[in-house]
Amino acid sequence: MYPAAGLANRQEPNWDDYRIFAALAKQRSFGQAAKALRLSKPTIRRRIESLESSIGVPLVDRGATGIVLTQDGKNIADMVEAMAMISERTVSRVRQVDGEISGECKLVLGEGLATAWFIPHFLGVFGDLYPRIVVRLGSAPDSDKIAIPPCDIQVRYAPTHDENLMLFRAATFHFTYFASRKYLERFGRPASRDELGHHRLADVTTSFGGESGIMAQYSNATALGRPHFYTNSGNILLQSVMAGQVIGLLPSYTFVTAPDLVPIIPDYHFETGLFVYFSDAASGKKATRVMIDFLRNVVFDKQRMPWFSETYQPPSESWHQTFAELTDAASRYIPPSNGHRK
For the chain, which residues make up each domain, given as ranges?
4-97, 102-172+277-339, 173-272
Fold match, 102-172+277-339 / 173-272: yes
* Per-residue confidence (pLDDT) for residue 204, from 0 to 100: 75
DSSP result, 138-206? EE--TTSPP-TTT-SEEEESS----TTEEEEEEEEEEEEEEEEHHHHHHH----SHHHHTTS-BEEE-S
pLDDT of 88-102, one tens digit each? Answer: 555 555 555 555 788
| Residues 163, 296 contacting (CB under 8 angstroms) | no
Task: Give the rounded percent of residues in the chain with a pLDDT score beyond 90.
Answer: 32
- For the ranges 145-149, 185-189, 193-197, the maximum mean pLDDT occurs at 185-189
How much is the mean pLDDT over the chain? 80
Does 3.40.190.10 match the CATH number of domain 102-172+277-339? yes
pLDDT at position 267 over 90: no
| % pLDDT > 70, the chain | 79
> What is the rounded radius of gyration, in angstroms, for the C-alpha atoms of the chain?
24
* DSSP H/E element including 63: strand 60-63
Structurally, at CATH architecture level, domain 173-272 sits in: 3-Layer(aba) Sandwich (3.40)
What average pLDDT does range 69-81 have in this prediction? Answer: 81
> Using one digit for the tens of pLDDT, what is the confidence trace for 112-140?
899 999 999 999 999 998 999 999 998 87
CATH code linked to domain 4-97:
1.10.10.10
Give pTM, 2 decimals.
0.68
Decide if 279 contacts 218 (C-beta within 8 A).
Answer: no
H/E element, 306: none
* Cα 312–Cα 263–Cα 34 angle in degrees, nearest 5: 85
